A = this chain, B = another copy of it.
Amino acid sequence: MSIAIQEELAAYCRDVARRAKQAAAELAQARGEQKNAWLRQSARRLREQTDRILQANAVDLAAASQHGLTDAQIDRLRLNPKRIEEMAIGLEEVAALPDPVGEIIESSVRPNGLEVMKVRVPLGVVFFIYESRPNVTADAAAICVKSGNAVILRGGKEAAASSQVLVEILQQGLIEQGLPENALHYVQTPDRAAVGHFLSLAEYIDVAIPRGGESLIRRVAAEARMPVIKHFTGNCHVYVDATADLEMAERLTINAKCQRMGVCNACESLLVHVAVAEAFLPRIGVALRARGIELRADERSRALLGEEGVRPATEEDYAAEFLGPILSVKVVDTLDEAIEHINRYGSHHTDAIVTQDLASARRFAARVDSSAVMINASTRFNDGYQFGLGAEIGISTDKFHARGPCGLKELMTYKWVVYGEGHCRE
């Protein structure tokens, strides 16, 4: 790349970021009714322009094999009228959420009469880097703008044509509703250097959110000069306690493992208390293998699962996020052994216990250090929609600022607003 082109790219990125920052200041003051009207109007336009969206999507699909996408990736890229309708409904659901801007989170009147309020305000500008799923474009734009943030979208090149049309449709309504047109940017250049430029612009961009492979996230975390909300792996566990209802345990394990395997909140490891191992492992083994799941287990589990076709589990297996039809299995002697195993090998994402014992449930919930702890519920519920946050922009594996599903509030900060009557400090 010539120096002139490099400089042009840097200037383009700086200009986009600067305009986003200006728009953010204005957007932070917009009324909820403006933002909601924009969301509902955009939903209508998505429906009306279904043909146009599908034409653009066809361009992406035609180039998919050239980009080396797998069948699963092509499936996620593919739009159809039903998926466009779901996108439209998604926008309407975000419109229906209460406006979070200006909410008083806490307040107190101090003994001297000073009124102290902690008020929720937008972060400012979000830089969102994501994989090739067009529906993510609509979701991200919706929750960023609803939370009062300008957003710079950097989608995968595999969905470039689809995303471009979706963003055009979303941008149309901004000016009509009196919202700043620069609230929503789609980075068009395929040049990967653009990401580096944006990550250097901390004076304009308040948070970077990478979603995709681990190498992308590590690169963004290393390069960014602004805070990053990271979404790393999900090595999630189901632990079947000594008092578990084994029928429930079977259902939950199968749901957590098999309902959707390529996602971060799918189960990757099954721990079974020794007291129920003999009763539970043979039946779950049959059920999982009937669904094509390969088991990798410790010696005690293998003895109960039938050693044929069950490989001994390695340390790496216990630490792995398989994202596919493999499950590691282990028998534990105590609840605390399960908790220690999860905290050691897990990725602090989502872990479930199946138990009928109150003390076990409370101890597991308190001591498992994960973004979500499920008691008698599938790991698959760790999700913004399922938690009632509306849409989500990702599931944070950080402990800082945002943990677990990131909806509107997770894209926000607060300011202190203090009313006095001429108060001076002694």
- Chain A residues with a Cβ under 8 A of chain B: 25, 28-29, 102, 108, 110, 114, 116, 123-124, 206-207, 227, 245, 248, 251-252, 255, 259, 343, 361, 365-367, 369-378, 380-382, 386-388, 398-401, 403-405, 413-425
Contact = CB atoms under 8 A, between A and B. Distances in A.
B29 A417 contact: no
A382 B227 CA distance: 24
A289 B370 CA distance: 58
Contacts of A387: 108, 110, 116, 416, 418
B417 A373 contact: yes
B251 A422 contact: yes
Contact of A381 (B248, B370, B382, B423): B423
What number of copies of this chain does the assembly contain?
2
A388 B425 contact: no
Nearest first, the 8 closest Cβ-Cβ pairs linking A and B are: A377-B420, A255-B424, A401-B401, A380-B425, A248-B422, A372-B416, A377-B423, A227-B400
A114 B403 contact: no
Contact residues of A: prevailing secondary structure = mixed
Given A227-B400, A416-B387, A252 B422 contact: yes
B374 A418 contact: yes
A245 B377 contact: no
A401 B398 CA distance: 11
A207 B401 CA distance: 11
Contacts of A386: 110, 114, 425
B418 A116 contact: no
B400 A401 contact: yes
A418 B373 contact: yes
